[in-house]
Amino acid sequence: MRNHNLYEKVYSMDNLLLAFKKARKGKSKKLYVLEFEANFHENILKLHDELKSQTYKPEPLVNFVVKDPKTRKISKSAFRDRIVHHAIIRVIEPIFDKGFIYDSCANRVQKGTLFAIKRFELFKRKVTNNLKSEAFCFKADVKHYFQEVNQKILMEIIKRKISDEKVIWLIERILKNGGRTEARDKFTEQSTSASGSRTGVGMPLGNLTSQFFANVYLNELDYFVKHNLKAKFYIRYVDDFVILHMSKEQLEIWKKEIERFLRETLRLELHPQKSKIICLSRGIDFVGFRNFYHHNLLRKRSIRKMLYAVETYKQGGISKESLLEIFQGWQAYSKWAASYKLRRSVVKKIYSKKVN
């Protein structure tokens, strides 16, 4: 059986060592990594023993607000807990990933924003008969997604694939460390237990486990759209998704069906301002681009985010090494849009004099 003795694999020393390397990647100079490494053998053995004996308890999350430029609340786990996150994901991800649809693009090997935009280009050509006819796009966004994931429903989904009770125990420990315990339920009162307490709701934005479970949760939507609605041209990136079709009326029908499915099955709702049916010729905002028939433009938010990083560097907030790492990723991404002059302009800003 695929999930037999999974927990032993999670806390095995080989897995913990690989998880440590994953958690340390790109952060080897951080103080919390250096502190863990200073007593590495003692710390990794302690983590191993706590997991094996099921005495492991995550440390409280550190919450802070970042502006990049959009203001977001990020929850930061202790480094030892990040090792545990990598350890469990290394074991359970292959079990779930093989059941994800091909066009679930976020946080998956050999997928991502560029994969999503390539699929959008392909679907756009197919639905418009190679750009010869008009078509429409249902562009949708799940409202407050990470804050509203219902942990009880999520655990029910996970238990379909994972029967190892100790793995379930560990996942619940991680989730309870970041979710709200006094949650409102806008849809029904079914989340209230017999004891009268509310089901946990939400996952911390910033955790590796949250990114993975985000895909597990909305895989239910993916299957509904692909197998129940039988929509051919559907792409999802985390909680943003698009469906392309030649008929606006068909998309209106599907929109209502999706709203009902999210409300009744996953206790979620679409963002009313960000979920609309739009002519493809008007341009569709998706994964950082405004996608037109014959060209793409970078979204203003993506440009502002890069310029904000440059300004932060100028003010001494980040190192040049960090800025160049951000720029390299942004440059590879922005090349998919009409952005040659913009990229040259950003390079000039980076190498102009810093503010004293």
Phi, psi of 180 (to 5 degrees): -80, 140
Helix residue ranges, H only, 185-247 = 208-223
pLDDT of residue 284: 93
- What pLDDT, on a 0 to 100 scale, did the predictor assign at position 111? 93
189 membership: H or E segment, kind and range = none
- The confidence band for 178, taking pLDDT boundaries of 50, 70 and 90, is low
CB 237 within 8 A of CB 101: no
The tokens describing 174, both together, are: 């991680």
Residue 105 has pLDDT above 80, yes or no: yes
Per-residue model confidence (pLDDT) at position 302? 86
Q: Is the pLDDT of residue 231 over 80?
A: yes
**Average model confidence (pLDDT) across the chain:** 89
d(CA 139, CA 285): 8
The pLDDT tens digits for 31-74 are 999 999 999 999 999 999 999 999 999 999 988 777 665 677 78
Q: For residue 187, what pLDDT is reported?
A: 47
- Confidence tier at 198 by pLDDT (50, 70, 90): very low
**CB proximity list for 237: less than 8 A, separation 6 or greater:** 105, 106, 113, 116, 286, 287
Strand, coil or helix: what is 120? helix
φ and ψ of 150, to 5 deg: -85, 115
**pLDDT over 50 at 194, yes or no:** no
Question: pLDDT tens for residues 295-315?
Answer: 888 988 889 989 999 999 988
Quickly state the pLDDT bin for 177 (edges 50, 70, 90): confident
| Pairing between β-strand 240-245 and β-strand 71-76 as defined by DSSP bridges | unpaired
pLDDT in tens, 282-294: 999 999 888 888 8
The CA distance from 293 to 301, in Å, is 21
Please give the Cα distance from 177 to 308 (Å, whole number): 32
Q: Which residue has the higher pLDDT, 325 or 137?
A: 137
pLDDT at position 127 over 60: yes
Cβ-count burial 235-256 (b if 16+ within 10 Å, e if not): bbbbbbbbbbbbeeebbeebbe
Separation of CA 121 from chain center: 22
Q: How confident is the model at residue 252 (pLDDT cuts 50, 70, 90)?
A: very high
Q: What is the per-residue pLDDT for 191?
A: 42
More confident residue, 258 or 113: 258
Strand ranges (E), 130-239: 136-141, 233-237
pLDDT of residue 4: 63
The SS3 assignment for 296 reads strand
